[in-house]
Chain A
Amino acid sequence: MNIKPKKSELEAARQTIKFFETLLRATTDGIVITDTTLNIIVANEAFCDIFGRHRNELIETNLSVWLEQLDPGAIKRWTELENQLHVKGFCPNVEFQITEKEKKRHFNVNASLLEQVACEETGAIISIWRDVTEWKEAQNLLEKYAKKLKQANEEVKQFAYIISHDLRAPLVNIKGYSTELRYAADEISSLMSSVTPHLNEEQKESLSRVIKEDMPEALGFIESSANKMDYFISAILKLSHLGRHKLIPEKIDTRSIVESVLNDMAHQIEKCRAKITFGTLPPIIADKTSIEQIVGNILNNALKYHAPERQLKIDIAAEQADKEITIHVCDNGRGIAADDMDKVFAPFRRAGEQNVPGEGMGLSYVQAIVRRHGGQIWCESEQNVGTTFSFTIPAK
């Protein structure tokens, strides 16, 4: 009996085909369907574009012919892909490259076994070819930058070594020989009494000025400058060592750390009658000593730079998000002028009136430690109103 499909069924089938044809044409991924011997049954326009061929040139040819135009090893990778297809029914993310006018393009291929659909007896393979050239190039660029960054880091380390050795060597001489000169001046000084009787008043005065004033003054400046330089060199060295210090992350009760830091500062807190308040401080995972240093430094600054005309208030609060915990230390101290904000974390820079002793290194160290933990630090401030220092520690 010959059953003829109804007109409406034929129409429905045509519509379905049309729907799939539109879908195939519209997608930017190359799609190709072959039978299991790799004869091409269906190829969309995006797939034809990959090989720069017209569809007629591809249909009913063998995919392996085209695979040969790809990078060496493509055939072998395709065979592995097929092996996986027969085991699992699909194979994700196999990479192929094609070089076209000296430009290399990269494709990420996902394949699935289509059983008894396109080719009833043997089944078929559908593979989707996605052009990942831009992504790949971006990735290569990223790798290149990472390599450069690593190299730059090595150079910085090398630089720290040069500072420690090469700059210290001349300092040893400057300090050494200025002390030798001091010894010499002392010796001349002790011989003075035997020389003075032979000199007139003017000569006596001149000699005494040179030995008692000019020489000690000059030596004093040489020595204090050499000391300062030694301090700078040591500070830079310490900064670079912080970057190498081994962190031991552990679960920390933030509140008890803050309390113990405050305890160590009890004397200063009492002296400026500071009022300190806390919010809830959730536990964090970090290196304990580092957190003590960060909190200690920020609180110490708040105490040092308080506004004498009002009672100092410091509030310590925390904000917990999925990926990180932010800790804010907010004071009502003298604040930082907008012009000085860029000096805050810079080494050897101090902002505002220099009426309290300091070396200008504290926040540089703090920034280095926070960054070492993968966090960030920043501050917001208004002059004569107060400052808030905030830092993040990633939640692990």
Chain B
Amino acid sequence: MVNINNVKILVIEDDPGHSRLIEKNLRRANIINEIILLNDGKKALDYLFGEEESSGKEPVSTMIILLDLNLPVIDGFKVLEHIKNNACTKNIPVIILTTSSDSQEISRCYDLGCNVYITKPVAYEKFSDAIKKLGLFLSVADVPERS
């Protein structure tokens, strides 16, 4: 069983305003975990599959990923696909957090293996509520240990 407080939260989001709002609201929901902000898809893949990891230094700890879809360099769909197609990362819970509510995009994400899809509501109360609930969800989620 993983100690939930050791779980890192990886926020892959290109809008600095959004990632800061996500961070602020996670903190408001009493989430004390380490939060790592990455602002494009390539940086996310480098972080997950890059040199640091394969060099066998410190294994990447268990984590939860909050992923936006519209990302520069490599988009969110591709990032999701890479994560879910790799045996080492496929069990990491991936939460899509994006402004699109297009039903085709939602089903495409589920087809690619995302765990939860959340549309960012424009109304801030709803937005912060969604993040807080997400925080609550994270605090009870069973995060698998990395194999």
Q: Is the CB of B99 within 8 A of A179?
A: no
| Contacting residues, chain B, for A3 (C-beta < 8 A) | none
| Contacting residues, chain B, for A173 (C-beta < 8 A) | 15, 17-18, 21
| Contacting residues, chain A, for B15 (C-beta < 8 A) | 169, 172-173
For B21, B99, B122, B125, the residue with the greatest tally of chain A CB atoms inside 10 Å of its CB is: B122
Decide yes or no whether B24 CB sits under 8 A from chain A: yes
12 residue pairs of the A-B complex, CB under 8 angstroms, read: A164-B101, A165-B99, A166-B70, A169-B18, A172-B21, A172-B122, A172-B127, A173-B17, A173-B18, A176-B18, A179-B124, A226-B122
| Contacting residues, chain B, for A176 (C-beta < 8 A) | 17-18, 21, 124, 127-128
Instruction: Give residues in B with beta carbon < 8 Å to A.
Output: 15, 17-18, 21, 24, 70, 98-102, 120, 122-125, 127-128
| Complex alpha-carbon distance, A63 and B147, angstroms | 81
Instruction: Give residues in A with beta carbon < 8 Å to B.
Output: 161, 164-166, 168-173, 175-180, 226, 230
Q: Is the CB of B99 within 8 A of A172?
A: yes
| Contacting residues, chain A, for B17 (C-beta < 8 A) | 170, 172-173, 176-177
Q: How far is the CB of B24 from chain A (nearest CB, A)?
A: 7
Q: How far is the CB of B98 from chain A (nearest CB, A)?
A: 8
| Complex alpha-carbon distance, A169 and B100, angstroms | 9
* Candidates B18, B102, B123, B125; contact of A164 at CB < 8 Å: B102
Q: Is the CB of B122 within 8 A of A175?
A: yes
Known interface pairs A176-B21, A180-B24. Does A164 touch B100 (Cβ–Cβ under 8 Å)? yes
| Contacting residues, chain A, for B128 (C-beta < 8 A) | 176, 179
Main secondary structure of the interface of A (DSSP, over half): helix
Q: Which 3 A-B pairs have the closest CB atoms?
A: A173-B17, A168-B99, A179-B124
Q: Is the CB of A164 within 8 A of B99?
A: yes
Q: Is the CB of B123 within 8 A of A175?
A: yes
Q: How far is the CB of B126 from chain A (nearest CB, A)?
A: 10
| Complex alpha-carbon distance, A176 and B15, angstroms | 13
| Complex alpha-carbon distance, A177 and B24, angstroms | 11
| Complex alpha-carbon distance, A165 and B15, angstroms | 12
The chain A residue with its CB closest to the CB of B14 is A169
* Candidates B24, B99, B102; contact of A169 at CB < 8 Å: B99
* Candidates B24, B100, B127; contact of A165 at CB < 8 Å: B100
Q: How far is the CB of A231 from chain B (nearest CB, A)?
A: 10
Q: Is the CB of A172 within 8 A of B100?
A: no
The chain A residue with its CB closest to the CB of B18 is A172
Q: Is the CB of B102 within 8 A of A172?
A: no
Known interface pairs A161-B102, A173-B15. Does A168 touch B24 (Cβ–Cβ under 8 Å)? no
| Contacting residues, chain B, for A166 (C-beta < 8 A) | 70
| Contacting residues, chain B, for A179 (C-beta < 8 A) | 124-125, 128
| Complex alpha-carbon distance, A164 and B103, angstroms | 13
| Complex alpha-carbon distance, A230 and B124, angstroms | 12
Q: How far is the CB of B30 from chain A (nearest CB, A)?
A: 17
| Contacting residues, chain A, for B18 (C-beta < 8 A) | 169, 172-173, 176
| Contacting residues, chain B, for A161 (C-beta < 8 A) | 100, 102
Q: How far is the CB of B140 from chain A (nearest CB, A)?
A: 26
| Contacting residues, chain A, for B100 (C-beta < 8 A) | 161, 164-165
Q: How far is the CB of A134 from chain B (nearest CB, A)?
A: 44
Known interface pairs A161-B102, A173-B18, A177-B17. Does A230 touch B70 (Cβ–Cβ under 8 Å)? no
The chain B residue with its CB closest to the CB of A230 is B122
Q: Is the CB of B124 within 8 A of A175?
A: yes
Known interface pairs A165-B70, A177-B17, A180-B24. Does A172 touch B101 (Cβ–Cβ under 8 Å)? no
For B99, B101, B124, B125, the residue with the greatest tally of chain A CB atoms inside 10 Å of its CB is: B124
Q: How far is the CB of B21 from chain A (nearest CB, A)?
A: 5
Q: How far is the CB of A167 from chain B (nearest CB, A)?
A: 9
Q: How far is the CB of B11 from chain A (nearest CB, A)?
A: 14
| Complex alpha-carbon distance, A336 and B129, angstroms | 45
| Complex alpha-carbon distance, A175 and B123, angstroms | 7
| Contacting residues, chain B, for A230 (C-beta < 8 A) | 122-123
Q: How far is the CB of B84 from chain A (nearest CB, A)?
A: 23
For A165, A169, A173, A179, the residue with the greatest tally of chain B CB atoms inside 10 Å of its CB is: A169
Q: How far is the CB of A235 from chain B (nearest CB, A)?
A: 13
The chain A residue with its CB closest to the CB of B125 is A179
| Contacting residues, chain A, for B124 (C-beta < 8 A) | 172, 175-176, 178-179
| Complex alpha-carbon distance, A165 and B98, angstroms | 8
